[in-house]
Structure 1
Amino acid sequence: MGAVIPKGYKQTKVGLIPEDWEEFKLKDVLNLTLESLVMEDEKEYELITVRRRFGGVDSRGIFKGKKILVKNQFYVRENDFVISKRQISHGACGLVPKELDGAIVSNEYNVFQPNKDLLDQVFFNYYVRVPKFNQTFYSYSDGIHIEKLLFKTKSWLKQKIPFPPLKEQQKIAQILITWDDAISKQEALIKAKEELKKGLMQKLLSGEVRFKEFGAGTLVPSSSIEKNGTEVPAPGGWDEVRLGDISKINPKNNNLPESFVYIDLESVKNGTLLKESIINSDNAPSRAQRLLKKDDILYQTVRPYQKNNFFFKLTGNYVASTGYAQIRALESSEYLYHYLHPTFPPNYTYEITSTPKAS
């Protein structure tokens, strides 16, 4: 006896869906568009890029035609849905915002416009993030290495996907936009508080402001080294030491475990681990060398100005990219992390990033 189908739903190949939802081939709701241009050497063009993890469409900058090496480019318009053929397995897709209307992309991208009788483009931009839909991007990408997959657009467009009626799509999109707006406002508030915290950290960790029981007064300038390089004394009771004396930098590791969570430069943002992807050591990239222990500090040495450092407080098998310096404090690891991030003096940053080999 088959499973009971709830009232108001129907059974399809993709599972249970509401009765008034319909399955459409993607080619019926999306129109692949190519608005070509003839590039002029002295004319300026704005190029776009599409960020991974559904991070949206951004500007790559404005360039004269003679500076753009790939001449086969196409215009994009507001609310076009753009897919990066080589990065879509990582969620590189999104809607073109109003301010990028008239920008250009190469044929490394797919540009779609919706069939407005069947599809709301804002709804679709949310819908592709649903895990089942997101998985189709990976399923229809070919290649051996995860970073070199190529999207099979024509095959992807032939698959059937269930869609709610247009009015329901619009209602869903409206609700999700409202929530995004609320989240943005909350994030702005959090960011403001983070800036206040950074200022407090700068004063406390430099000794500019001290607790009464440990000392009094204000140190000017606040850093142990002024911008012009002139040394000033450390606060009373503080010792000046080398980082290598209080920590191990890039400690040597034995063989990597058979499988582990790999932390690359895109895994961390603002001190938070965004993703945990388990890989086998046989398929690991050559940069996977930093075998982590609890309380290790990862300090970003590739593009250190981004300050995507990480205090590792987890357990299990985790390996980080050599794009990070691995710092293992001999004591007070959490204090050292906050001292290094984000107020670390630039000349010390250089010493870490130019470390020739593991010590």
Structure 2
Amino acid sequence: MRRRNEGIVSRGFLLGRNILVKNYSQLQIGDFVISKRQVVHGASGIVPAKLNKAIVSNEYLVAVENSDISTEFLAALSSLPKMKRKFFLSSYGVDIEKLFFDVEDWKGRFITIPKLGEQLKISAYLKELDQLIHLHLLEREKLVTLKKAMLQKMFPRNGVTKPEIRFKGFTEDWKKKKLGNISDSFSGGTPSVANHFFYGGNISFIRSGEINSKSTELTITELGLQNSAAKLVNKGDILYALYGATSGEVGISQVNGAINQAVLCIKPHSGNNSQFLSVWLRSQKTAIIGTYLQGGQGNLSGSIIKLLEVDLPGAIEQQKIGNYFEKLDRLIALHVTRLEKIKQIKLACMEKMFV
């Protein structure tokens, strides 16, 4: 049994002689199971087909449906805050991690439910939403896995001058060049927070946690820009987080704005593709952090990034590779957006479809 309403999982397969508990229940598809010691943490769920006829000890409560209530409806109801409170009120103990569920007390509490026919319709609708959520999760995971695999195969391994997979028509060796030799780069600064005339203007102020954002929490004025080391960047520039919690993160600026000292702007020279270089930098994040931020300590710097050696194909191949990964990122983001919308729809329905 998993916490946080994540359902039921197998804990292994045992031969009859290896079953040490004397009292146990055999489950059927669709039974609703509650962990008596973890229910306050959301440990409950419907028995899936793959666990039909599995057994559980008397540490678990097994509820079966009848003419009054559907277990699918009960499962949905159990995820609501008011039912979670009932679970809590029907538990006893001094340690939140070890509270024990008083089944008889819980049975004596009241819930409000519609007739069985309406329960089944509500449950079926919520199940459809869950299936859509699961579908988008799977699609996103497939794309993330594909991207990871292609990052390994579309860039040369160490000591090799050609990648394993290439677009048709490209055969030339890739060449190593220092990032500082194929791009210009600079970091910014922060206007004094003591001067309120420096903030609240129309210049987006991009900090390291916002390098992929379409908007920024802070804006600065032209006066703030002129009286600080903040530097202007353009939409489409490569932004690299130098230090802080986001060290090594890479983004393509979504806005025209200014950067602070924790962000490095990288502007590739003509013939070098921003999308390609940003993909390469992302693929190298683990190696860069492992080399220059030992134990998570220290900061990256513009001088470190400039000295990184990049494996480079020709300009056209760079563009094709950059476009390919940009398309993958858009598809991943699309599934994430759809996933969040469906989750919001389900949350709204849960709030309005139950009394």
Normalising by structure 2, we get a TM-score of 0.46
Normalising by structure 1, we get a TM-score of 0.45
> Larger radius of gyration, structure 1 or 2?
2
